[in-house]
Amino acid sequence: MKVLLVHSAYQQFGGEDSVVRAETELLEKHGDEVCHYSRHNDEIKQFGLAQKAAFFPQTIYSWKTSGELEDVVRRFKPDVAFIHNVYPLISPSAYHKLHALGVPTVQVLHNFRLHCPNGLFYTQGQICEACSGGNYLQAIRKRCYKDSYALSGLYALTLGLNRMGGVIDKISGFICLTEFFKLKMQKAGVPDSKLFVRPNFVHAPALAAGETQAGKYVLFMGRLSAEKGCWTLIRAFEQLPQVPLKILGTGPLEQELRDHIRGKGIRNIELLGFKSGEEKWNILRNSLCLVLPSEWYENFPVTALEAFMACKPVIAARLGGLPYIVEEGKSGLLFEAGNVGELAGRVQHLVENPAEAVRMGACGRQLTETKYGPEQGYSNLMKIFSQVRMA
């Protein structure tokens, strides 16, 4: 099959970018031909005055994207377009142009950007679904996007025009990573016939002897930001001074967290910054468990699958897509989002019962080899592509 993969890469390499890379490798491994139409958000840093002036309207509709996609389609003749992120440089013009050219499109819903200007259903420290019904003015009032009236207004206008222009009708199918996400999209008015559930997948490498043993420290991997529950995590481990916590990642809260840890003389929490590759894998496989304390509607974090792959259980907030991934008492433990005491108790339970952590880790590993394996992921994707092409 000939697949046109459309993606605007983020300035800070993250989960979506990692998924795009994995999807490309999966398709090419099975003999499918992949053509990329991509932009990188780092381009914005190089914009001159004229480009900056044109940036806002081009976020709504990019004539550059429209023209380039027409050339790509004419040359490559794709069977389907596989879209991950169009904001801000590619813009929703991709949907209109591909529909006009008769190319079936499948949009992966990595976040809530289809109905929420900041894509998170989270603002000012709490979950917010005020815009899901189509009134995006709330986003401007609350400065939901980067605490900016202007940027919030831009994305509110973009979503409003998308709604008026029938963007949902232009897209052939939407991939939801969990059943939770599908329910939210149904509530927001996306037709059920266009919604497909297909989770992320991982390639689980063989494990060496001893890699299934319980480690001595707990691990967090992710963006250091409010919606990720970083303060809940820190406060829980302040109650567990004997339990080491290693934090991998960077983000807007990094310096504030470092200052807090240093100021209070906290000795059991270590911020290690961004790690990748073998270095990250070594830290993960020597841990006791992974903690996901998210306080927004987390979709399907790849880090959960990475933990399962390494035979590590996951302690996750009972919120969003996480309870659909982490099975209570089987592949991990759940706690009420934001509940410091309950999180501390869940961690303490695994510290005192390492054999249970090993059992749960083995269950998670089995899931990566079956339900979340690459072959299952490929089979599910081909079924979706076939359905939208026949529609």
pTM, full prediction = 0.89
Write the burial class of residue 88 (CB in 10 Å: 0-12 exposed, 13-18 middle, 19+ buried): buried
pLDDT for residue 158: 87
We find that the CATH architecture of domain 2-110+172-201+373-390 is 3-Layer(aba) Sandwich (3.40)
Instruction: Pick 218-369's CATH classification: 3.40.250.10, 3.40.50.2000, 1.10.1740.10, 3.90.330.10.
Output: 3.40.50.2000
Please, are residues 315 and 303 in contact by the beta-carbon 8 Å criterion?
Answer: no
Chain-centroid distance of CA 78 in Å reads 26
Instruction: Report the alpha-carbon distance of residue 375 to residue 29 in Å, rounded.
Output: 11
Q: How far apart are CA 300 and CA 377, in angstroms?
A: 14
Tens-level pLDDT at each residue, the chain (391 residues) = 999 999 998 766 667 888 999 999 999 999 999 999 999 877 777 777 777 667 778 888 899 999 999 999 999 999 999 999 999 889 999 999 999 999 999 999 999 988 999 999 999 999 999 998 888 999 999 999 989 999 899 889 988 988 888 999 999 999 999 999 999 999 988 999 999 999 999 887 777 655 678 899 999 999 999 999 999 999 999 999 999 999 999 999 999 999 999 999 999 999 999 998 899 999 999 999 999 999 999 999 999 999 999 999 999 999 999 999 999 999 999 999 999 999 999 999 999 999 999 999 999 999 998 899 999 999 999 999 999 999 7
Which pLDDT belongs to residue 37?
97
Q: What's the angle, vertex CA 348, arms to CA 346 and CA 353, rounded to 5?
A: 95
- Residue 328 DSSP code: B
Helix (H, G, I), strand (E, B) or coil at 4: strand
Q: How many C-beta atoms surround the C-beta of residue 121 within 10 A?
A: 21
Contact of 180 with 251, CB cutoff 8 Å: no
Q: Which residue has the tokens 């389609």?
A: 73
| Strand 126-127, strand 122-123: pairing | antiparallel
- Residue-by-residue DSSP string for 100-150: HTT--EEEEESSSTTT-TTSSSEETTEE--TTTTS-THHHHHHTTTTT-HH
- Cβ neighbours of residue 137 under 8 Å, at least 6 residues apart? 156
Indicate where the chain has its CATH 3.40.50.2000 domain(s): 2-110+172-201+373-390, 218-369
Which residues touch 34 (CB under 8 Å, ≥6 apart)?
A: 3, 5, 24, 27, 28
Angle at which helix 230-238 crosses helix 340-352, to 10 degrees, equals 60
CB atoms within 10 A of CB 150: 11
Q: Which pLDDT score, from 0 to 100, does residue 9 have?
A: 86
In the block, which residue shows the tokens 């990094």? 254
Query: Which residues lie below 8 Å from residue 170, measured CB to CB, with a gap of 6+?
Result: 95, 96, 98, 99, 105
> What backbone torsions phi and psi does residue 152 show, to the nearest 5 degrees?
-65, -40
| pLDDT given at position 121 | 94
Nearest-angstrom CA–CA distance, 373 and 364: 12
Structure tokens at 318: 């009972």
Q: In this structure, what DSSP letter does residue 313 have?
A: -
* Among 364, 293, 358, 296, CA closest to 325: 364
- Amino acid identity, position 334: L
Three-state SS at 339: coil
Q: How far apart are CA 260 and CA 283, in angstroms?
A: 24
